[in-house]
């Protein structure tokens, strides 16, 4: 039965045609390989078949589904290992296996897969502590946890030592023996020759040959070579030996070229019959790399969804807690500021705040600080880093709805902000006798609007940044002026007039103002603050949606 059928596939990147009208089919239970030089179009082809890229022409059918349009159904039936994916180093092996299991309706028990791939002892280890071979095994486990009919492996063994590579080959053959179809791309001709029933050779976006490794070698017309040292025979006589095509001699080393099942026997018989002494006789038969070189002319260089969202958010939150910098600035630093300045001023009345206590004013200001940390630093930097490490792209190759990845980040940072808020309130109440003077609904609405506004601004940073390094720079440029010029740390009433004017251009100013006024129950109009934050939210959100990319170009 045909499991994959590709007809006239075309994919362009601007003026570059990466895949140029190729076509092929893959049968059930087959290990199908695709090889080619760097830039030949292998990865683009496999990603179009996986539904990760939208073809510009042609048709693709995978198990009767159109990959790009029916991705959610497709990812229940296939497993994907991407060429470049690295997972958060602070996540544990069992956690990421459990997370991926939650994406599928009928997953294989990951404990069985860990045992099969000899990773049970590493179950509680962090991913960062796995060896290269163990990380690749984990990639296969995550591709198999869906119990797929087809497994896509893109450059699986690149970077592995020979022993680990051969170990991986046995595992791949085991997948075929289980009745699964395997589509792999590889940088190793020996690997394709050993594993694949058929191999497609790609070059410049086209398939230049497709057949079994044996037939590809035979059709290339490459000769067998026999090398030996010793007495130099009569070259012309040796050329006339049956199945010999050519003979060359170089400083006492003789190379015989020929084709035929009896070539070696014929040459040795000739040497013995003529009494020619020889030593270090070696034979070299053509292999797939020889065929590749001849064909290309280039050297090969090498409610399931809600459960998944909950699991993804849970894992993201664990990773946030394991991030020392995030925990420091989201939890410890605001509490430290409250204890330090609260210890200096106590909760004495402040005249310019209607006689409200100093700590009563500090707490909502520091809540604004926490929103800034999670929304302007943690959120955009995590998304940008995940995009750099191709984690976003790997998540897309699952039935998980792509926007869930962003939603889980928003929820994680919302929970982080909420915990920071509770720590501040509890500390203020226990140590300084914090007063909560406002009505609950007003502050809750102000808090939620502030979250939406600042988080959308952070999402905008992640969307426009060309890479994770740029996202870090932009976040720092935005965050630190807001931290010190908006009333989040120092009241605006104590700042010079020029600083107050600058603060009016910073969204966090309106967050802090709205939070303080609703927290303290100050009876004034909140219209200006609300309008500014709504505008920031709408503009940031829509620009982010228009500019966001799941992977860098």
Q: What is the pLDDT of residue 138?
A: 92
The C-alpha R_g of the chain, in whole angstroms, comes to 32
Q: What is the per-residue pLDDT for 297?
A: 58
Give the dihedral sign, CA 531/534/535/536: positive
Global pTM exceeds 0.75: no
Which token pair is 267? 């040459």
Q: What is the pLDDT of residue 113?
A: 93
Give the tokens for residue 489: 């740390």
For residue 430, which of 316, 522, 338, 293 has the smallest C-alpha distance? 338
The dihedral of CA 95, 98, 104, 105: what is its sign? negative
Residue 383 and residue 547 in contact, taking contact as beta carbons nearer than 8 Å: no
Q: Are 229 and 243 in contact (CB under 8 A)?
A: no
Helix (H/G/I), strand (E/B), else coil: 53: coil
Query: Could you tell me if 517 and 525 are in contact, meaning their C-beta atoms sit under 8 angstroms apart?
Result: no
Please measure the distance between the N-terminal and C-terminal CA atoms of the chain and give it in whole angstroms.
37
Residue 269: φ, ψ to 5°: -60, -40
- The tokens 């049956």 sit on which residue? 242
> CB neighbours of 202 closer than 8 A, spacing ≥ 6?
22, 34, 35, 36, 40, 41, 42, 45, 208
Q: Helix, strand, or coil here: 497?
A: helix
CA distance 111 to 15: 47
CA–CA dist 498, 259 (Å, integer):
88
Q: What is the pLDDT of residue 301?
A: 46
Give the Cα separation of 267 and 226 in Å (integer): 9
State the CB neighbour count (10 A cutoff) for residue 49.
Answer: 26
Q: Which residue has the tokens 């017309």?
A: 221
* Three-class DSSP labels, 307-337: HHHHHHHHHHHHHHHHCHHHHHHHHHHHHHH
User: Domains of the chain, with CATH numbers?
Assistant: 2-218 (3.40.50.300), 223-285 (3.30.70), 304-547 (no CATH)
Q: Which two tokens stand for residue 227?
A: 């090398």
If we measure between CA atoms, which residue out of 13, 25, 15, 27 comes closest to residue 49? Answer: 25
Per-residue pLDDT for the chain (553 aa), expressed as one digit of tens each?
Answer: 899 999 999 999 877 889 999 999 999 999 999 998 878 899 899 999 999 999 999 999 999 999 999 988 999 999 998 876 678 888 999 999 999 999 888 899 999 999 988 999 999 999 989 988 888 889 989 999 999 999 999 888 877 778 888 888 998 999 999 999 999 988 788 889 899 999 999 988 999 999 998 888 877 766 788 888 988 888 888 889 998 888 888 878 888 888 887 888 998 999 899 898 988 888 877 778 777 776 665 544 445 566 777 888 888 888 888 888 888 889 999 999 999 988 888 888 877 666 788 888 899 999 999 999 999 999 999 999 888 888 888 887 777 777 788 888 899 999 999 999 999 999 999 999 888 765 678 889 999 999 999 999 999 999 999 888 999 999 999 999 998 888 888 888 878 889 889 989 999 999 999 998 888 887 777 899 999 999 999 999 999 989 988 776 5
């Amino acid at each position: 039965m045909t499991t994959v059928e590709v007809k006239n596939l075309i994919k362009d990147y601007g003026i570059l045609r990466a895949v140029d009208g190729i076509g092929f089919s893959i049968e059930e239970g087959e290990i199908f390989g695709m090889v080619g030089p760097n830039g030949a179009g292998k990865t683009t082809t496999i990603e179009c078949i996986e539904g990760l890229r939208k073809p510009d022409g042609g048709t693709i059918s995978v198990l009767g589904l159109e990959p790009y349009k029916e991705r959610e159904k497709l990812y229940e039936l296939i497993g994907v290992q991407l060429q470049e994916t690295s997972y958060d180093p602070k996540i544990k092996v069992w956690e990421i296996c459990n997370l991926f299991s939650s994406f599928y309706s009928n997953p294989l028990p990951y404990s069985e897969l860990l045992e099969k791939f000899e990773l049970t002892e590493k179950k509680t280890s962090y991913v960062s502590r796995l060896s290269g071979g163990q990380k690749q095994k984990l990639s296969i486990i995550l591709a198999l946890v869906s119990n797929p009919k087809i497994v896509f492996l893109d450059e699986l063994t690149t970077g592995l030592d020979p022993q680990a590579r051969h170990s991986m080959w046995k595992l791949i053959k085991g997948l075929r023996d289980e009745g699964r179809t395997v589509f792999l791309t590889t940088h190793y001709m020996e690997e394709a020759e050993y594993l694949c029933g058929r191999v497609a050779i790609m070059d410049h976006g086209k398939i230049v040959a497709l057949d079994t490794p044996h037939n590809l070698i035979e059709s290339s017309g490459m000769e067998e070579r026999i090398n030996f040292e010793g007495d130099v025979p009569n070259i012309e006589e040796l050329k006339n030996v049956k199945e010999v095509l050519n003979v060359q001699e170089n400083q006492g080393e003789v190379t015989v070229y020929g084709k035929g099942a009896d070539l070696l026997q014929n040459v040795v018989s000739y040497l013995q019959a003529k009494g020619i002494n020889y030593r270090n006789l070696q034979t070299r038969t053509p292999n797939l790399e020889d065929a590749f070189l001849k064909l290309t002319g280039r050297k090969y260089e090498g409610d399931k969804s809600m459960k998944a969202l909950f699991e993804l958010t849970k894992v993201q939150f664990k990773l946030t807690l394991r991030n020392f910098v995030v925990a420091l600035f989201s939890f410890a630093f605001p509490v430290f500021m409250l204890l330090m300045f609260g210890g200096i001023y106590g909760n004495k009345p402040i005249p310019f705040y209607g006689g409200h206590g100093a700590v009563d004013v500090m707490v909502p200001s520091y809540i604004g600080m926490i929103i800034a940390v999670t929304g302007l630093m943690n959120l955009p930097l995590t998304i940008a880093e995940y995009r750099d490490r191709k984690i976003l792209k790997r998540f897309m190759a699952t039935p998980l709805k792509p926007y869930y990845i962003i939603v889980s980040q928003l929820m994680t940072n919302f929970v982080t902000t909420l915990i920071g808020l509770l720590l501040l309130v509890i500390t203020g109440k226990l140590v300084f006798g914090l007063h909560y003077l406002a009505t609950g609904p007003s502050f809750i609405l102000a808090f939620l609007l502030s979250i939406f506004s600042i988080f959308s601004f952070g999402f905008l940073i992640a969307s426009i940044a060309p890479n994770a390094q740029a996202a870090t720079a932009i976040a720092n440029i935005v965050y630190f002026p807001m931290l010190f010029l908006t009333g989040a740390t120092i009241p605006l009433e104590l700042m010079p007039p020029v600083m107050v004017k600058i603060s009016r251009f910073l969204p966090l100013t309106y967050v802090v103002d709205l939070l303080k006024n609703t927290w303290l129950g100050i009876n004034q109009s909140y219209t200006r603050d609300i309008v500014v934050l709504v505008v920031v939210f709408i503009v940031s959100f829509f620009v982010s949606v228009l500019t966001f990319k799941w992977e860098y170009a």
